């Protein structure tokens, strides 16, 4: 049900449901963060992110995506730098944000920060 509300942009209903859920797992936290990312509500996305009992790579990527979607690329970059573990989606989300913001030099710089063997660098 939470995913249905989020998918339809009904964040007030999603928050109301989340508040009364007896069990809140990582998936429900990530779903709520994703919903706020879709509607470009970075403050709410960050509030939920900070409230996560455990933050996995999906949580990090989703909140970074919220900032990218909102055009707050500097905040996205700061969060990216804080990430304890990055995956291909992490690198690609930030790189796409730079490109969407016409920050081509920063995108190239980020590309060169990737380590050889990084899963993003596939042929």
Res. 114 pLDDT band, cuts 50 70 90: confident
pLDDT in tens, 65-92: 999 999 999 999 999 999 999 999 999 9
> pLDDT at position 118, please?
59
* Contact criterion met (CB below 8 Å) for 23 and 31: no
Question: How far is Cα of residue 110 from the mean position of the Cα atoms in its chain?
Answer: 17
Average pLDDT of every residue of the chain: 92
pLDDT in tens, 51-71: 999 999 999 999 999 999 999
Tokens read off for 88: 């291909």
> pLDDT at position 115, please?
72
> pLDDT at position 123, please?
43
Pick the CATH number of 2-113 from 3.40.50.970, 1.20.1110.10, 1.25.40.10, 2.130.10.10: 1.25.40.10
Q: In sequence order, what are the residues at sequence separation of 6 or more whose Cβ sits closer than 8 angstroms to the Cβ of residue 24? A: 18
15, exposed or middle or buried, with CB in 10 Å at 0-12, 13-18, 19+? middle
Q: What are phi and psi of 24, to 5 degrees?
A: -115, 110
123: number of Cβ within 10 Å = 2
Using a pLDDT cut of 90, give the percent of the chain over it: 89
Question: What whole-number distance in Å separates Cα of residue 64 and Cα of residue 73?
Answer: 9
Instruction: End-to-end CA distance of the chain: give it in Å, rounded.
Output: 39
Residue 120 has pLDDT above 60, yes or no: no
Distances in Å between the alpha carbon of 76 and those of 65, 83, 93, 94?
7, 11, 9, 7
Ordered by start, the domain boundaries in the chain are 2-113
Using a pLDDT cut of 70, give the percent of the chain over it: 93
- Check residues 121 and 44 and name the one with the higher pLDDT: 44
- Residue range 4-31: mean pLDDT, rounded: 95
Tokens 């109301």 identify what position? 16
């Amino acid at each position: 049900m939470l995913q249905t509300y989020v998918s339809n942009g009904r964040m007030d209903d999603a928050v109301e449901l989340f508040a009364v859920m007896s069990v809140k797992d990582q998936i429900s936290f990530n779903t709520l963060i994703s919903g706020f990312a879709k509607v470009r509500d970075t403050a709410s996305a960050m509030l939920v992110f900070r409230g996560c009992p455990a933050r996995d790579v999906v949580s990090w990527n989703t909140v970074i995506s919220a900032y990218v979607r909102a055009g707050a690329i500097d905040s996205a970059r700061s969060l990216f730098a804080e990430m304890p573990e990055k995956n291909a989606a992490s690198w690609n989300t930030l790189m796409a944000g730079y490109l969407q913001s016409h920050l081509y030099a920063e995108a190239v710089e980020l590309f060169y920060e990737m380590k050889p063997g990084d899963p993003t660098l596939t042929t």
